[in-house]
Amino acid sequence: MKKIQRILIANRGEIALRIIRTVRDMNIEAIAVYEKPDSDAYFHRFADRVIQIGIEPNRGYLDIERIIQAAVNTGSDAIHPGYGFLSENADFAEACLREGIIFIGPPPNVIRNLGNKVLAREMMVKAGIPVVPGTESLPVGPDGLIVAMAFAREVGYPIILKATAGGGGRGVRRVNSEQELKLNIPSARAEALAAFRDDRIYAEKYIESPRHVEVQILADKYGHVVHLGTRDCSIQRRHQKLLEIAPADLPEPVLEALHEAAVKAARAAEYVNAGTVEFLVDSRTNEFWFMEVNTRLQVEHTVTEMITGEDLVQEQIRIAEGRPLQIRQEDVRLNGIAIEVRINAEDPKNNFMPEGGKLIEIYNPPGGPGIRVDGNAYKGYFVPSVYDSLLAKLIVWGYEWDQTIKRLQRALKDFNIVWPKTTIPLYMAICDEPDFQGRKFDTGYLETHPDLFNYPDADHYVFDDALYKLMLAPHEGMEGRSEEEQKKDRQAGWWMYKRTLTTQEIDELKKEGVVKSSIKGKVTDILVEVGDEVMVGDALVDLEAMKMHTHIICEVDGKVADILVEPGDAVDVGDTLVMVTVRR
């Protein structure tokens, strides 16, 4: 048994920060790594030390040699891989062991065996766990097509093509006919190669409208295995999860059978550390089949933590140190219901097109009882277009389903992110949908409920604190308005009663001479005084950023009414600098 002193987190974004927090709770030093596009990432601020491991995106995070060297150079005695990237790479786990570094995850042979989806299926059949009918890895070339066609004739269309080394919903293609099969095999191989550096694929019977239910397990090297209940991950887009619920809403005998099958699967694989056993469940009969084992921490582990009170990252570290499980099965209590929604910088109305390349002008996360936010975003954060689109995970807990939904609705309404479009309004629409409220959903939920995408656009803006306080006082800029404008009931200080504005109201505000910072920097000089007459194009404030000076320019004619900053102040994107009374 070895006490870990320093852990290198070989990941980025919200999961890097999530792991860092537990590591520091355990009085262990946290080392973060990053690539150049992540140079302003939020998780840097919480690590004890930060090491750059690459310039180009998605190279350093996947470079085993660089990460191992970073661990050696920093004296790290353990590496936590998070999820994605190298988290399920057996070669990486082996490289850690060769260097005498603890890999916080399963042994390399377990990762390798379970990562091969065909081999994993064979293992589960031997253990007596039901699996979906499928093939071995298809031969390359015409022989592969022949095998796939014979399988499809045996079980009937539709079938599904999957990457043998796959996971996370990538490399998955539904095939409805022989013609589609001929077209999809080459593209499925190419997608598998791009995602996993392995072009092997296999065919599986497609289960119509199943539920995607998984079981969280923990196992130590002494043969102890426990489950921490189920998660329903059925609501997905393009085979990737959007919303997860713990526990799944299934009859108690079915839940017990799933728990038993998951523990049996872990024992069959000689599993050690945290893992997730995934199943497909027939929505009508509740019959279930083994799908795969994810040999890592899941994105949605948070909902399990909410209903059990356990810290899964802490348990991972304890197991990696060689300690026996401190949790016994009889000690596990599943309390209440938790829901996680993934706040992605995507436009759901445009086929979930990523919104990378945009600056977050406002970031106000929600709070209150039963609310947890795991995120990597902040005001002024530039959303990278070279990584996944996840900004934050919103996790909500309640004693029962209706309370959890109400808390989720409140939290979504309070979660304000401007400028990229996000998945927030889609989740608000889902919360109002009757089938979701009745817990009647499966993996085809979004396809069978297209009206969800008719949600109103989030046409709003939230004041920063400085501007809000200023608006509490009478403002001269409202003088001289026409009778028509007065009929709109826009009295002086009308904005003091509401912090959410429509686009029309934003335009009105701009006309009132609200001057905001367009960059993040330091105020070096104020070029005007209160009472000065200014015109369009006049320089108002000088800002310095990265040793370069930027003038903030006036966009209206008028008189300077107030100056909210002074030399030496640090300002963020969207901060209010000057108020100008517009000349009418």
Find out whether 532 and 559 touch, Cβ atoms under 8 Å.
yes
Contacts of 537 (CB under 8 A, 6+ apart): 553, 554
Task: Return the beta strands (E) in 414-538 as ranges.
Answer: 416-418, 514-516, 521-526, 533-534
Q: Where are the domains of the chain?
A: 6-104, 134-205, 210-454, 475-582
Find out whether 430 and 405 touch, Cβ atoms under 8 Å.
no
- Residues designated catalytic: 296
Per-residue pLDDT of the chain (584 residues; tens, 9 = 90+): 889 999 999 999 999 999 999 999 999 999 999 999 999 999 999 999 999 999 999 999 999 999 999 999 999 999 999 999 999 999 999 999 999 999 999 999 999 999 998 899 999 999 999 999 899 999 999 999 999 999 999 999 999 999 998 766 677 899 999 999 999 999 899 888 888 889 999 999 999 889 999 999 999 999 999 999 999 999 999 888 999 999 999 999 999 999 999 999 999 999 999 999 999 999 999 999 999 999 999 999 999 999 999 999 999 999 999 999 999 999 999 999 999 999 999 999 999 999 998 888 889 999 999 999 999 999 889 999 999 999 999 999 999 999 999 999 999 999 989 889 999 999 999 999 999 999 999 999 999 999 999 998 764 444 444 444 444 444 444 444 445 444 444 444 444 343 444 445 544 555 668 887 767 788 999 999 999 999 887 889 988 876 677 788 888 889 998 898 999 888 876 677 888 888 87
pTM here is: 0.77
Q: Which class is 6-104 in CATH?
A: alpha beta
Any idea which architecture 475-582 has in CATH? Beta Barrel (2.40)
**CATH tag for 210-454 (out of 3.30.420.40, 3.40.640.10, 3.40.50.1000, 3.30.470.20):** 3.30.470.20
**Is domain 134-205 given the CATH code 3.30.1490.20 in the classification?**
yes
Longest dimension (CA), the chain: 84
- The residues that bridge with 11 in the sheet, in sequence order, are none
Query: What per-residue confidence (pLDDT) applies to 190?
Result: 87
DSSP state for residue 336 in the 8-state scheme: S
> Residue 128, by phi and psi: left (phi above 0), alpha (psi -120 to 50) or beta?
left
